[in-house]
Amino acid sequence: MSPLALLPVFFDLRGKRAVVAGDGEGAIWKAELLAASGAHVDVFSPDPSSDLQALANEPPAGCVTIVARAWTASDIAGAAIAVAALDGDDAHAFAAAASKAGVPVNVVDTPGVGTFNFGTIINRSPIAIGISTDGAAPVLAQTIRGKIEALLHPTLGSWALAAKDWRDVVKARLPMGAARRDLWRRFADAALAARQRPDRSALEQLFADTAPSKGGSVVLVGAGPGDPELLTLKALRALQSADVIMYDRLVGTDILELGRREALRILVGKTGGGKSCRQSDINERMVSLALEGKRVVRLKGGDPMVFGRANEEIAACREAGIPVTSVPGITAALGAASQLCLSLTDRRRARRLQFVTGHSESGHAPEHDWVQLADPWTTTVFYMGARTLHEMLPKLLAAGLDAGTPALAIAGATTDQSRHIVTTVAGLKAAIATLDHGQPCLIIMGRAVGTESAAAFLADRNAAQ
């Protein structure tokens, strides 16, 4: 797990005493927030405003009591939480008194003085989401809040309440295990998609859709070329409901962290030219885990159906009677083209686009139709071709490919380690030698790489690297 600047926690303040000292918008807002959480809020203010009095008259929940004097250290004792909307020495003194009394304390708009911070809050009660930037960028937190608010319908909280009411019914009708977990997964999907409050018929529909399950399942999930923001929503849901995640070596930790925390993570990566897991071992482990009732996510770089040996894994699952599905991902060629704003099908330069493997089962270059690959009106993308380029180039040139054809080599496409070089077919070997061999490398050949706009853009990007 990556380090956390702050630990996000949630206080249960229902029926508990909270202390607020000060006046102004900061004190009023924090008093309202604490009252909304069900706290009994004592506000110490020598000159309470009319807005503060209005809050005391009509709190959102809990209660608000105004004490028209300055705070003292004894006022803080026994409180569950304390907040100061004060300045200077008075703010520091309040924080020190609260800390001495063992009370969590926040000082409004003064990072580093209290023991906790209030994050930006999204309220879909009983669902509450807090966003914090550790005080570094409050406006960024507000922007993030706006993005999340747009995704979560106001009725979402009512679905959470329904889950609480229905939990005993589900326990009584479904035993603990895969069927119950599957029902709650489908409940979550329905809740996120809903635009109205749930009723009992929604629960009955979930039960009606529950089929008996003797085992688990396998989902082949495309992780995309490396940037976690390119992961699909369907892939994210699969990761967050997984019992086991079997992942390739090139899948980054930032993508793995999006998976369910309790999921077992198993590295089954293949290293070009180095030690690798045998495909038969991967198939056997994957099927074995699914037969134990596990929901297995086989997480692959790019798209599972593009040079990902998906057919072998699908066949193994079907032979064992394991349900298997696939979630597409952005394949590396499309990720690289998007990153570089390079059209692979420029209508002036390319009539065809082809994805080609540069690596056969033997470890050498496959026996391609080299004349087809040498077509000057085709954009050709070679996957896993860096190590076999020395075998392929002579055959391509002998088939008629012009050595001056524009070419591009890109390593680590869409990641922070991405680096690319624009060259010609003749210069590819030297270009690839300068790239990081620990990153997957794509080779793109064709006139589309040499378009005026693409060449200028790529040249600028190379100069900046």
- Strands in 197-351 per DSSP E: 217-222, 244-247, 264-267, 295-300, 324-327
Helix (H) or strand (E) holding 324: strand 324-327
Burial of 234 (0-12, 13-18, 19+ CB in 10 A): middle
Amino acid at 219: V
Q: Is 460 a catalytic residue?
A: no
Per-residue burial over 191-210, b = 16 or more CB atoms within 10 Å of its CB, e = otherwise: beeeeeebeeebbeebeeeb
What the block records as the tokens of 21 is 């000292």
Burial of 67 (0-12, 13-18, 19+ CB in 10 A): middle
Amino acid at 330: I
What the block records as the tokens of 69 is 């004097």
Distance CA 320, CA 427 (A): 49
Mind giving me the DSSP string for 124-150?
Answer: ETTEEEEE--TTS-HHHHHHHHHHHHH
Helix, strand, coil % over all residues of the chain, rounded to 5: 40, 20, 40
Catalytic residue of the set 23, 248, 303, 375: 248
Q: In 3D, which of 401, 345, 330 has the Cα closest to residue 369? A: 401
Catalytic residue of the set 270, 346, 402, 429: 270
How do 406-411 and 264-267 pair as beta strands?
unpaired
Q: Is 47 a catalytic residue?
A: no
Report the Cα–Cα distance between both ends of the chain, in Å, rounded.
Answer: 30
Residue 119 per-residue DSSP state: P
* All residues at 6 or more sequence positions from 15 whose CB lies less than 8 Å from its CB, including other chains: 38, 39, 40
Q: What is the set of active-site residues?
A: 248, 270
